[in-house]
Amino acid sequence: MKLLLTTSQGIEDLAKKEVGNLLKMADLKGKVEEKPLGVEGRIWAEIEESYYFDKKGKKREFEIASFLNENSRLLHRVILHICSTKISSLETGRALTEIYNFVFNSPIEEYAKVSESFAVRSFRKGEHEFTSIDIAKIVGSAIYDKLSKFGKPKVNLDHPSVIFRAELIDNVFFLGIDTTGDSSLHKRPWRVYDHPAHLKASIANAMIELAELDGGSVSDPMCGSGTILIELALRGYEGKIIGIEKYKKHLKGAKMNALAAGVLEKIDFIHGDATKLSQYFESVDFALSNLPYGLKIGKKRLIPDLYMAFFNELSKVLEKRGVFLTTEKRVIETAIEENGFKIKHHRLIGHGGLKVHAYVIS
């Protein structure tokens, strides 16, 4: 079985590693490849089918897609791969005809029964003169026409039994069955408070991986709605976890989220200022934070002073490593270096249409 897995751009290697570990945990054999056909934010997993015997001694197939949906922290979607190709022309008429023919000639009937209602959800990225709705329509009609050979297909756009996912990323086309459903996995059910700049849970987990935590204390000194710390606590982290946030409204929201996640008692939330970090603790082993970027013009000019004061305080308390995200490359690099830290790792991560810089420092 082949799965197309989606995640954020720039963390494919970490997601690939996670999938490899999950396969090992479930005693499954498979091959995992990042960026299939050169597409960022995508992973292919080819997994050998595996069976087990239930309590009644009946042989059953292990549901690998459900297993990944339930256990992955870095993936966004788990899609049963049907087919993929490189579209030879991106001129609207020709591209849509090519997609129609390609879908019609693929083994749709092996993945969906004509008796099951279906819908097509689409995703498009790159330079095209047609929309994702055009793709959904053409793929939907190819599936309908193909299934018509077996009876009368049923389309249900609101509550389909089977969701086909069609993606066109530049000239690469993927078609599969979306086993995740309409809500991406990074939208965690515990998020009852919606911070205006909250981090995707998948990226929070990528930061946790990059930090290589060893059980020592962890703080997010500008924790917003608590995403990084809540995800850390949900992973069963045993060390001390401390969140600091300047604004009461967000701190209250972080507590509500932690309560919804069932980890409120595992996190110390402090109403405080990250530029006075040493007032709250003498030392901390790890600091992980998605820093304010100051996208609002009025606030942008405050960022250099904030970063400088924060990294200065951090230099008084940080024992091991820090992992930070920001769009402000020059400002953060100056603050890191002027306060005696070294950049150990840097990468770009796609987040909400932006490329953000991730740094590991010590």
Ligand X SMILES: C[S@@+](CC[C@H](N)C(=O)[O-])C[C@H]1O[C@@H](n2cnc3c(N)ncnc32)[C@H](O)[C@@H]1O
Which residues of the chain form contacts with ligand X (CB under 6 A)?
195, 197-199, 222, 224-225, 227-228, 244-247, 250, 273-275, 290, 292
Question: How near is the Cβ of 227 to ligand X at its closest, in Å?
Answer: 3
* Whole-angstrom distance, CA of residue 273 vs CA of residue 276: 5
CB of 41 to ligand X, least distance (A): 20
Nearer to ligand X, 186 or 195 (CB): 195
Q: How far apart are CA 217 and CA 283, in angstroms?
A: 9
**Shortest CB 300 distance to ligand X, Å:** 13
Q: Which is nearer to ligand X, 110 or 194 (CB)?
A: 194
CB of 221 to ligand X, least distance (A): 6
Which C-beta is closer to ligand X: that of 16 or that of 198? 198
Smallest separation, CB 350 to ligand X (Å): 16
DSSP code of residue 300: H
Q: How far is the CB of 245 from ligand X (least distance, A)?
A: 5
Q: Which residues contact 259 (CB under 8 A, 6 or more apart)?
A: none
One-letter amino acid for residue 7 of the chain:
T
Which CB sits closer to ligand X, 98 or 245?
245
Closest-approach residue to ligand X (CB) = 224
Kindly state the smallest distance separating residue 280's Cβ from ligand X, in Å: 10
Q: Quick check: 161 and 177 in contact, CB under 8 A? A: no
CB of 44 or CB of 286, closer to ligand X: 286
Name the residue among 200, 238, 212 with its Cα closest to residue 350.
Answer: 200
- What is the distance between the alpha carbons of residues 146 and 307, in angstroms, rounded to a whole number? 58
Q: Look up residue 86 and give its two tokens.
A: 């490189």
- Residue written as tokens 């579209």? 87
- Pure H helices in the chain: 12-25, 64-71, 92-104, 132-147, 201-211, 227-234, 248-261, 297-300, 303-317, 329-338
- Compute the C-alpha angle 170/172/177, nearest 5°: 120
Closest approach, Cβ 319 to ligand X, in A, equals 20
Q: Which residue lies nearer to ligand X by CB, 43 or 318?
A: 318
Burial label for 357, CB within 10 Å (0-12, 13-18, 19+), is middle
Buried b (16+ CB within 10 A) or exposed e, 42-72: bbbbebeebeeeeeeeeeeeeebbebbbeeb
CB of 239 to ligand X, least distance (A): 19
How many Å apart are CA 216 and CA 213, to the nearest integer? 7
16 versus 195: smaller Cβ distance to ligand X? 195
179 vs 326, which CB is nearer to ligand X? Answer: 326
Alpha carbon distance 308, 310 (integer Å): 6
Which of 141, 334 has the CB closer to ligand X?
334
